[in-house]
Amino acid sequence: MGAYSANYPVCDEERMKQRHLKVGNKYYSHKSVIRLIDRYSEISQDPEEIIRSLVQDKLNVARQSRHFRWNGPPFNPEVLASILGIWCEESVELTHSEDAELHPAENGRVVIRYNPDKPKTRQKFSIAHEIVHTFFPGYQDECHARHQSGKFDPENEVEFLCDLGASEIVMPTPEFDSDVKSMGVSLKSLQKLSKLYEVSLEATAIRMIKTDFHPCALIVLDYSHKPAEKEEIETSKYQQSLFREDPWVPPPMRLRVQYFVRGRHFSTYIPKHKSIEESSPLYEVSVTGKPFQGDTVLNLTKTPLNTYVEAMALPKTHNTDLDSRVIAILFHTRKNS
Ligand SMILES: [Zn+2]
């Protein structure tokens, strides 16, 4: 989301000179992230902490504003944008994103143009995401050349950090954390919080897991091919176009881990793309659309994981006859703790 379209400097040379910084288990190399760390090194060396801190500072300013009412839940990022002197306007002619973009406006200001045809929750999150782009030093000169798909794309570092900051804007720490403390981590509280804060179930779930109040994790499952199969499909398309062989039938998509997010106290790591067995209650959720709550064994890691799961179906993202996506909150059972 959110290409800044004002300037496109030649950036290949810049990229050659890039520094790499290791923070925890993550490497950062995008020049915007490196500039952010250099500029705010007194806050932290960790860009995630820097972004959270910058958002919290802006929200403190917003809370004290006499002219604007920053309150919630739900919190309206357009109010924060106004306080920061950023204009927001609807636009159905976005050129770089389906959701929202930053553009230069008069007097050195910026305007966030957002797609009014997207769901309200998505519009809000997109506006918040674009606000966070403006926290990066030199964001006006940002280069948005895309790297080849399938390879590590440093651009994602910025997008990830903007999503992290957006999540803090629409679900600010004191209010959201105190709600999670009083409601607990469950599917029921996830649904309540998502409605209350007007944020998608997935963004709410990630934020809830990251409060770290309980040793729990989140997996989202979707139908897809594994990376090797995707490559095979691409190669066969190419070969068919060259040699016009008999049509090759690709393998069926399977219900796989689309992404996994864990709290600091959840020790197991579940890799992406792992497929779930058809005997699993999570597969059942996908097929029937009915939620599941209970103990189960997940065979997604080397050692089977005994876990208590709360799972529900999510709307499909692709227009196919495949079954629903699934969101599941995992808790360590006594066997694992
Ligand atoms: Zn973005």
The residues of the chain that CATH labels 1.10.10.2910 are: 12-169
Ligand 1 geometric centre to CA of 158 (Å): 7
51 three-state secondary structure: helix
CA 159 – CA 100 distance, rounded (Å): 13
126 closest CA partner among 93, 86, 170: 170
Q: Which CATH architecture has domain 12-169?
A: Orthogonal Bundle (1.10)
The residues of the chain that CATH labels 3.30.450.130 are: 214-332
Ligand 1 geometric centre to CA of 2 (Å): 4
CA 17 – CA 33 distance, rounded (Å): 14
Ligand 1 geometric centre to CA of 101 (Å): 8
Ligand 1 geometric centre to CA of 213 (Å): 29
The owner of tokens 């190399």 is 29
The owner of tokens 């691409």 is 234
Ligand 1 geometric centre to CA of 133 (Å): 7
Ligand 1 geometric centre to CA of 114 (Å): 12
Burial 183-221 (b: 16+ CB within 10 A, else e): eebbbebbeebbebbbbbbbbbbbbbbbbeebbbbbbbb
Are 111 and 86 in contact by the 8 Å Cβ rule? The answer is: yes
CA 237 – CA 239 distance, rounded (Å): 6
204 closest CA partner among 190, 189, 183, 218: 190
47 closest CA partner among 167, 173, 136, 171: 136
Given the candidates 3.30.450.130, 1.10.420.10, 3.40.50.1820, 3.30.420.340, the CATH classification of the domain at 214-332 is 3.30.450.130
Are 256 and 229 in contact by the 8 Å Cβ rule? The answer is: no
Q: Near ion ligand 1, which residues have CB within 5 Å?
A: 1-2, 159, 162
List all residues 6 or more positions away from 55 whose beta carbon is below 8 Å from its beta carbon.
132, 135, 165, 168, 169
pLDDT tens string, the chain, 337 residues long: the values are 554 433 333 444 455 456 788 888 788 888 899 999 999 999 999 999 999 999 999 999 999 988 888 999 999 999 999 999 999 999 888 888 888 998 888 888 889 999 999 999 999 999 999 999 999 998 776 543 333 333 445 568 899 999 999 999 999 999 999 999 999 999 999 999 999 999 999 999 999 999 998 899 999 999 988 888 888 877 777 666 666 666 777 788 899 999 999 999 999 999 999 999 999 999 999 999 999 999 999 999 989 999 999 999 997 766 677 889 999 999 987 544 4
